[in-house]
């Protein structure tokens, strides 16, 4: 739950910008993040994600000097305090999605999850038709590739239409420290939706992303490849091939074994079997309100 101080900031935010029109409040991670759905002035739904920023090591001395401590419990060698940090050290990263579709809203609401086992045939008969029916816009992805948006955030850009990609920080990373480093490599090829579309012909693209991405991160952030986790999601949050680069040790969203596939493993699997991801049974979690889960239930696959 958010602390009283954070709740004041939350209320201030939507009073100022959204006329106090809260529709629902969902909790993604009770330890660090909370999401709320608002109906702004223009009657478009919006999702606002409030997330506590990581504590920076270089601010620790200032944090202890300028904070107020209130004792909550003491027992022998153990004690618990409530620390109120100076405002400039108590930032809340705020992400706004507006206008937000129903899918956006559901994404940030807490839901029970189920593990689905999808065969190659399941993908062709259940998942792919469902994806095609959704017609989700990828314009924001194309804007990045064409440098119509976020051009100043690009860390590396390979313009080659076949093996090229754009590397930039994920919005979940505030870029203030490398402990929670999170970048996304977006492929320039527009006809690769997910792992299921990959074959041996895409090995040059995957190898280029893997190698050039690591080199760019080393050059920009002085972080070697041995400290990186490089992976793809299945199912992905959007159906245009992209690769996640996160710092090893950072518990990034979606880095669990039920969803993340190491890029090095993907490359080796395709080298051993060019059609590996077109035939392999893949497991992934789906939330209770996900329409794709309903399709698997209707087909008797869950």
Active site residue 242: yes
70 pairs with which residues across the strands?
82
Which residues, other chains included, contact 220 with Cβ-Cβ below 8 Å and sequence gap of 6+?
Answer: 155, 156
57 shares a domain with 203? no
Task: Please tell me the predicted confidence (pLDDT) of residue 43.
Answer: 61
In a domain, 198, yes or no: yes
Q: Is 286 marked within a binding site?
A: no
Task: Please tell me the predicted confidence (pLDDT) of residue 7.
Answer: 42
pLDDT (tens digit per residue) in 156-192: 999 999 999 999 999 889 898 899 999 999 999 999 9
Least reliable range by pLDDT among 96-100, 125-129, 193-197: 96-100
pLDDT > 70? residue 97: yes
136 shares a domain with 271? yes
143 shares a domain with 48? no
Task: Please tell me the predicted confidence (pLDDT) of residue 39.
Answer: 53
Rounded to two decimals, the pTM is 0.73
173 shares a domain with 27? no
Q: Is 173 marked within a binding site?
A: no
- pLDDT class of 246 with cuts at 50, 70, 90: very high
Q: Is 243 marked within a binding site?
A: yes
119 shares a domain with 82? no
Q: Is 104 marked within a binding site?
A: no
Domain assignment of residue 176, given as a range: 111-298
Q: How many domains does the chain have?
A: 2
Q: Is 240 marked within a binding site?
A: yes
Within 10 A of 118 (CB to CB), how many other CB atoms are there?
Answer: 21
Task: Please tell me the predicted confidence (pLDDT) of residue 33.
Answer: 55
pLDDT > 50? residue 206: yes
pLDDT > 70? residue 59: yes
Q: Is 236 marked within a binding site?
A: yes
235 shares a domain with 196? yes
196 shares a domain with 123? yes
80 shares a domain with 12? yes
Q: Is 241 marked within a binding site?
A: yes
Which of 88, 202, 242, 261 is labelled catalytic?
242
- pLDDT class of 30 with cuts at 50, 70, 90: very low
The three-point CA angle 176-180-185 to 5° equals 95
161 shares a domain with 132? yes
Q: DSSP string spanning the chain? A: ---HHHHHHHHHHHHHHHTT-EEEEEEEETTTEEEEEE--TTS--EEEEEEEPPPPGGGHHHHHHH-EEEEEEEETTEEEEEEE--GGGS-EEEEEESS--HHHHHHTS---EEEEEE-HHHIIIIIHHHHHHH----HHHHHHHTTSSSGGG-SEEE--TTT-EEEEE-TT--SS-GGG-EEEEEES-SS--SGGG--GGGHHHHHHHHHHHHHHHHHHH---GGGEEEEEESS-SSSS-EEEEEETT---TT-STTTEEEHHHHHHHHHH-TTHHHHS-EEEEEETT-HHHHHHHHTT--
Tell me the two tokens of residue 66: 């300028």
196 shares a domain with 70? no
What value does the mean pLDDT of the chain take? 85
Compute the average pLDDT of residues 247-252.
Answer: 92
Task: Please tell me the predicted confidence (pLDDT) of residue 34.
Answer: 56
Specify the CATH number for the domain of residue 191. Answer: 3.30.428.10
In a domain, 100, yes or no: no
CB distance 184 to 242 below 8 Å: yes
């Amino acid at each position: 739950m958010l602390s009283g101080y954070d709740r004041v900031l939350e209320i201030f935010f939507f009073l100022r910008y959204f006329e106090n029109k809260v529709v629902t409040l969902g909790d993604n991670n009770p330890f660090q993040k909370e999401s709320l759905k608002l109906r702004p002035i223009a009657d478009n739904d919006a999702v606002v994600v409030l997330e506590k920023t990581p504590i920076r090591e270089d601010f620790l001395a200032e944090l202890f000097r300028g904070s107020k401590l209130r004792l909550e419990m003491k027992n022998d060698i153990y004690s618990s305090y409530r620390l109120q940090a100076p405002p400039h050290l108590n930032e809340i990263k705020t992400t706004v999605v507006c206008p937000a579709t129903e899918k956006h809203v559901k994404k940030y609401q807490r839901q029970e999850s189920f593990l689905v086992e999808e065969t190659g045939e399941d993908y062709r008969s259940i998942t792919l038709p469902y994806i095609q029916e959704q017609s989700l816009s990828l314009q924001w992805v194309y804007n990045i590739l064409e440098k119509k948006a976020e051009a100043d955030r690009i860390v590396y850009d390979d313009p080659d239409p076949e093996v090229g990609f754009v590397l930039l920080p994920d919005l979940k990373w505030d870029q203030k420290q490398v402990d929670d480093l999170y970048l996304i490599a977006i492929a320039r090829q527009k006809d690769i939706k997910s792992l299921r579309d990959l074959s041996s012909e895409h090995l040059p693209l995957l190898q280029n992303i893997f190698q050039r991405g690591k080199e760019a991160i080393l050059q920009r952030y002085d972080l070697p490849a041995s400290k990186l986790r490089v992976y793809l999601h299945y199912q992905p949050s959007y159906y245009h091939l992209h690769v996640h680069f996160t710092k090893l040790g950072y518990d990034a969203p979606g880095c669990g074994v039920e969803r993340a596939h190491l890029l090095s493993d993907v490359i080796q699997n395709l080298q051993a079997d060019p059609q590996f991801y077109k035939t392999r049974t893949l497991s992934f979690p789906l939330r209770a309100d996900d329409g794709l889960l309903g399709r698997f239930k209707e087909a008797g696959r869950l």
